[in-house]
Amino acid sequence: MAREYTVRTLPATPKSDINYASDLNEQQLAAVTAPPGPSLVIAGAGSGKTRTLTYRVAYILDNGIYASNILLLTFTNKAAREMLERVENLVPHDTKELWGGTFHSIGNRILRRHADELGFGNNFSIMDREDQKELIVSAIAEAKIDSKTIKFPKPEVVADIFSLAVNMEMEIPDLLDWKYPYFDHFADELFAVHEKYELKKVTTNSMDFDDLLVKTLQLLKENPDICKYYQKQFEWVLVDEYQDTNSIQSELIDLLAAPQNNIMVVGDDAQSIYSWRGADFRNILNFPERYENARSFVIETNYRSVPEILTLANAAIKPNKEQFEKNLAPARPDAEVLPALIPLQDTKMQAAFVAQRILELETEGIELHEIAVLYRAHYHSMEVQMEFTKRGIPFDITSGLRFFEQAHIKDVASFMKFACNRRDEIAFKRIVKMLPGIGAGTADKLWQAWLECPGSSDPKLAEFSEFMLKFKVPAKAQKNWEQFAYTMDELLDGKGGTEAPATMMPSIMEGVYDEYMRGKFPNYDVRRQDLRQLEKFSEGFTDIDEFLTQLSLLAGQDAVEAQKKKQDEDIVCLSSIHQAKGLEYKVVFVIWLADGMFPSKKVIESDDELGSGLEEERRLFYVAVTRAKDELYLMYPIIWHGAFNGDTLQRPSRFLEDLSPELTEEWKVGASAW
């Protein structure tokens, strides 16, 4: 057996001049300077979690570890960028080699090197939800399921079923029984569609977002040599928002951190609110059991909220049994104003109160973008939206398509995807169905014609038109088909590769797509401007695979990042609490705090013996109140007009009843004529 020997080289640059003791509070310092080995950091809301992780990376670099030996895993692109930028500003070291990013982006980076081990090409396409839907439609057809004559779930629902089954590591029949009992009788058909779908992903050299995690884990498990390579490279593993990890992510972390287990996970169990999308609360709770020698750190000093709000937040989460005990301590002085508890006559008065109070706050000097209205479900905001419209209060709702998810952005990306991955059936069909006279049936025939011609398998293809112009297309599509073929020619560099993304953009926009966009979208000018912005964005990339990867990953960026950008505008934010996690506002209104609404009736009626569903709802309430920095308004309507069974008397949320009266100031709100 070969003897193992490690050479420790000196740092490439001198240590930073960071004074850790003066820059950090006592709790943060203990976590940042923890010795090697597993560490769990419970960082309460507003306690400087990002600062702690950033300084931890700097501390590791200052101790002679190369940036390339550090893996930093986050849940959002923004979090990764923010932390890496802060590290660069802190230390003199070159941090470009540090592996920092979302779980999906790191998975993609590994798979780009080793996808051939799993039967994929390294130039595989990443499907977004719409691409996935198209491939599932094709899989349903191949499984000979006539979805027109039976009430088979829609492709987008099938995609949700497949995704949830993967993220929760459940068999499809078990998942149906738990989550979709009304589809139980389709278990066999869904299993058949899933098999076809998995096969088609391989044949089209395409992966969905879940594959970026699942396939990475599969790769490491099935290839010990590759696994050992990355285990040796990642001497230090750091994980942000650990409470939001699912079982696959947790297993991936454990695998990459082994055997040295120099791992630090940072999170807040009290903010675990995503079980509905596969997050496993037990990962953070059981971390000390999985890592027997793990050190635990609790960071409780809150720099965000006034003491009165923190006292309420501590009391709000206290009834939960499954948690790491913590007590948020204020760094700010007393505000001498208690959070407001406001029962209101009905939902209309609730909306009127919110609107009137916001207008008053604006006259007091509070900017509108520093105000948020939070709720459990989107329909809770209906009356507020109407009232804001009546009173001319500008607002934004966090739902809706983001820039990189829009149809015209994805259309342009399809040209690029097909240029570099000629087996991308989804991209090809998306393009050709833009042409007049070509529907799904003709698109299928053209795809088969493409597969049968030499061009589809020629790695050094110089021209698409050499083959495509020979295809039979409807007379109505002939002119556009020729333009399409010549446009695709322009995307190739003539040397067996493709042009840079910024060079491709004008060819795509000035070809068939501009004509299509004019006839398709009423807001053509706006979308044209969007594509100009995309062209500008593309100038930062020379590699087409990297550009397309970023487009796909950005299409899934979280609401936090999208909303942060909108905070430059002076508008009130209306948001579900789930989408508001990670944000903060001077003033927060939490509406519809009535039992059956928040917590939801479904959770109350179906909760298990341990009360885990109710505990997650309580954590959701905790997240809502800890978004507020200066003022907090908690309210509920006493009567719900127009309920399914007529006017309904509403009880205040049990979460409000858990609070001692001295923690809030009750407001008695009446109505009067103007």
Q: Could you list the active site residues? A: 49-50, 240-241, 271, 627
- How far is it, in rounded angstroms, from Cα 539 to Cα 126? 21
Kind plus residue range of the DSSP H or E element containing 666 = strand 665-666
Closest CA to 329 of 304, 309, 300: 300
Contact of 178 with 171, CB cutoff 8 Å: no
Task: Provide the phi-psi class of 437: left if phi over 0, else alpha when psi is between -120 and 50, else beta.
Answer: left
- How far is it, in rounded angstroms, from Cα 624 to Cα 607? 21
- Name the 3-class secondary structure at 628: strand
Q: How many CA atoms lie within 13 A of 182 on its CB side?
A: 4
- How far is it, in rounded angstroms, from Cα 198 to Cα 206? 10
The two counts, helices (H) then strands (E), for the chain are 31, 18
Contact of 447 with 428, CB cutoff 8 Å: yes
Residue 333, Cβ density class (10 Å: 0-12 exposed, 13-18 middle, ≥19 buried): exposed
- How far is it, in rounded angstroms, from Cα 88 to Cα 83? 9
394 DSSP 8-state letter: -
Q: What would the DSSP string read from start to end of 39-101?
A: EEEEE-TTS-HHHHHHHHHHHHHHTT--GGGEEEEESSHHHHHHHHHHHHHH-SS--TT-EEE
Q: Which two tokens stand for residue 652?
A: 């205040």
Contact of 59 with 20, CB cutoff 8 Å: yes
- Reply yes or no: is the peptide bond before residue 259 cis, omega within 30 of 0: yes
Q: How many CA atoms lie within 13 A of 326 on its CB side?
A: 26
- How far is it, in rounded angstroms, from Cα 362 to Cα 572? 11
Give Rg (Cα) of the chain.
Answer: 27
Contact of 505 with 432, CB cutoff 8 Å: no
Contact of 59 with 91, CB cutoff 8 Å: no
Contacts of 255-261 spanning 24+ positions with Cβ under 8 A: 255/217, 255/220, 255/221, 255/227, 255/231, 256/71, 256/220, 256/230, 256/231, 257/38, 257/231, 258/231, 259/231, 260/36, 260/235, 261/37, 261/38, 261/291
Task: Provide the phi-psi class of 562: left if phi over 0, else alpha when psi is between -120 and 50, else beta.
Answer: alpha
Contact of 622 with 305, CB cutoff 8 Å: no
Task: Provide the phi-psi class of 343: left if phi over 0, else alpha when psi is between -120 and 50, else beta.
Answer: beta
- How far is it, in rounded angstroms, from Cα 79 to Cα 332? 25
What is the greatest pairwise CA distance in the chain? 90
Distance of alpha carbon 518 from the chain centroid: 32
- How far is it, in rounded angstroms, from Cα 547 to Cα 332? 44
- Reply yes or no: is the peptide bond before residue 599 cis, omega within 30 of 0: yes
